[in-house]
Amino acid sequence: MGLKPEIRQYLSERSALGLPAVWQAPLDEIRKITNLHIALSQPLIDLFEVKKILIPGPKSDLPVRIYRPSQKLNLPALVFFMVVAGY
């Protein structure tokens, strides 16, 4: 499966601009570049449900947010984890 055409176009345009890698640019420049992100130019979709829950953990509860685009069952899932240093 290849990239969506709009993602391919975004990557081509970004490459043509000669933008620096995130770790090579000053913070103010990174913020400007972030405004070019393809996610900011896509239409928003209506969500069926947003649910906030807590999953019990050994030392504290883990907050989880579940976004559902429709009421269909067995939809694919995309999971994001945020790792905090020192924990």
Q: Give domain status of residue 67, yes or no.
A: no
What is the predicted pLDDT for the residue at 46?
A: 86
pLDDT, one tens digit per residue, over 40-60 is: 777 878 889 999 999 998 888
Q: Give domain status of residue 13, yes or no.
A: yes
Q: Give domain status of residue 85, yes or no.
A: no
Domain count for the chain: 1
Tell me the three state secondary structure of residue 34.
Answer: helix
C-alpha R_g of the chain: 18
pTM > 0.95: yes or no: no
Contact 69, 78 (CB under 8 A): no
